[in-house]
Amino acid sequence: MTGLKLPGFFRKDIFLIFLLWLILTAINIDKAFHIDDTFHLEAGQWLRENPLKPMSGLINWADDPTPMYSHNQPVLFFYLVAFTSFLFGMGEIPLHLMESVFTFLVLYYFYKTAVFLRVGKPRILLIFLAFCPAFIINQNVMVDVPVLSLVLISAYYLLKSGKEQKLLYYCLSALCIGLGLLIKYSLLPLLVVILLVMLIRRDFKYLPVLLIPVFMLAGWSFWNVQEFGSVHIFNRPRNEFRPVRIIEFIACVGAVSPLSICLIPKGFSALKWLSFCFFFAVISYGLFVWTGIIEIHIFGQLLNYVFISNGLLIAFALLFDAIKHGKLIDLKNFISSDTFILWLIIGALASFMVLFAPFMATRHILLIIPFLLLVSSPLMEQAGKFLVQTAVVLTVILGLILGISDWKTADYYREMVGVIEIPQNQTVWAAGHWGWQWYARKNNMKIYGTQTSEVKEGDYLVYPRDIVRQTINPALKLSLVDKKWKDASLLTFVSGSRLASLYSSSIHNPVWRLSLSPVDTIYVFKVDRIELSNP
């Protein structure tokens, strides 16, 4: 009797996948609930009690509680939060373990895709993805890693459908996009990608497969009409396109991707040295600031320009290689290639984010990072061992530093909410969203609403300085009672805590920065009186 033989893929590399998954899970497993986690947790709580009215729950995510249908996302992920919490409770560990399932799927299907495409250095690409800061920090109880896993599964089967079992693989690809659309609508452009691939391949008889995600969205929209009288996807908040969003997108990619040093094509050695200078300057600046040789404000505002420059170098290198590759083979064959499909996915997702995202963030560019890595493989093969190893080391270091820093930032609010000293039997209102809102409620504070809270004289109002919060009703006359903070540490020196820049950056607020300041300051106010306006 012969023993069971595993495929070569499992024999060789499943250990690496599990090792990376364990490292990423360990970093995240007891991380405090952070940023949008609170919205998803409160949505999950509502769904546990009201599974047939998923969009009718009220959540305070601006000034006052508003129904979930007035916000951006559909609810499939919220059902998963509800189911997990029903079985294991609302603790950090069970919910982060649930999220880690999708982390594993991302690693697994990225590697399978790399092997299928026969790219060079698939293990190196896997390490680049695993330690990319955008991947590490966004393992919160949020939708981005689950959506990425579905995108990668869909892309894998879309690529395989060009070789075998067309109907099955087209169906699996379309089904994954349909499931993804019920988590986040930003996958809509991938329907166009599947359509274009079918047309390019002349697989016209498989076009009805696109009805799978269409019917899924139609069913969801019909449910919307029955529940609250309109179609959610057509009635979400709108955002105007601003040209600066392109620069912010490039800066976001450059801030989390120390790849440029191994991507610059041959013949552009000056650009390669420029990339080295960028990283050397940032590292030197950090050492000089930490040791007090230079003041932190000196050149600090230039950090975003370093990110922009690095992002431009990456874009130049990849686009130059794509054009060169397209010229080496005729255009028709290039358009029919798997590489062109990868570029279609990158272009579709990047365009959607730049045009329609309300702000730029690492979670947005996370969706294209795996595909950027896959198309960059030929350049890495040309770069040489030293440059690739240097880029790997920089990526691992940056990923771990930002991952730990973000863990400390999230934990800051979990810890600080417990050190607020209020006289007994006094009502305490908490303003401010994100993880702070969850832990404030957990510590028996009431969540403040600008117009809906019945605040009384003698009550207390508590809020952090640097997070999004409710507008304070001008009728409330407050006096500052106390301020709470913790001194900065080396673990928060590389920081994304300024208005959560790792989750919402701009041309004036880089993705991360160097900081010697406390993560935040908590203000404690007492309501001295309430001045009601004359009728």
> Which of residues 288 and 142 earns the better pLDDT score?
142
User: How do residues 358-412 score in pLDDT, each as one tens digit?
Assistant: 889 999 999 999 999 999 988 888 887 888 888 899 999 999 999 999 999 999 9
Q: How far apart are CA 249 and CA 245, in angstroms?
A: 6
What mean pLDDT is predicted for residues 421-429? 89
- Residue 63 confidence (pLDDT): 93
Scored b (16 or more CB within 10 A) or e, 215-241 reads: ebbeebbebbeebbeebbeeebeeeee
Question: Does residue 329 surpass a pLDDT of 80?
Answer: no
> Which of residues 206 and 2 earns the better pLDDT score?
206
SS3 of the chain: helix, strand, coil, percent, to 5:
60, 10, 30
Scored b (16 or more CB within 10 A) or e, 283-303 reads: eebeebbeeeeeebeeebeeb
Lowest-confidence range among 35-49, 79-93, 270-284, 362-376?
A: 270-284
- Residue 330 confidence (pLDDT): 67
What mean pLDDT is predicted for residues 298-303? 68
Question: Does residue 6 surpass a pLDDT of 70?
Answer: no
Q: What pTM did the predictor assign?
A: 0.92
Q: What is the mean pLDDT of the chain?
A: 89
- Residue 4 confidence (pLDDT): 43
**Any idea of the CA torsion for 119, 123, 126, 132, to the nearest 10 degrees?**
-110
- Residue 276 confidence (pLDDT): 67
Question: Does residue 282 surpass a pLDDT of 60?
Answer: yes
- Residue 439 confidence (pLDDT): 96
User: How do residues 116-162 score in pLDDT, each as one tens digit?
Assistant: 999 988 999 999 999 999 999 999 999 999 999 999 999 999 999 98
> Which of residues 292 and 509 earns the better pLDDT score?
509
Residues 6 or more apart whose CB falls under 8 angstroms from that of 462 comprise 420, 428, 429, 430, 431, 440, 445, 522, 523, 524, 525
Q: How far apart are CA 9 and CA 48, in angstroms?
A: 40
Residue 283 pLDDT level (bands cut at 50, 70, 90): confident
User: How do residues 29-68 score in pLDDT, each as one tens digit?
Assistant: 999 999 999 999 999 999 999 999 999 999 999 999 999 9
- Residue 11 confidence (pLDDT): 59
Domains of the chain, residue spans = 410-530
Task: Kindly provide the residue ranges of all beta strands, DSSP E only, lying in 474-515, ordered along the sequence.
Answer: 476-484, 494-495, 513-514
- Residue 111 confidence (pLDDT): 96
Q: How far apart are CA 441 and CA 488, in angstroms?
A: 26
- Residue 2 confidence (pLDDT): 40
Residue 216 pLDDT level (bands cut at 50, 70, 90): very high
For residue 530, report the phi and psi dihedrals to the nearest 5 degrees: -125, 120
CA distances to 245, 374, 392, 396 from 386, in Å: 35, 20, 10, 15
Percent of the chain predicted with pLDDT > 70: 92
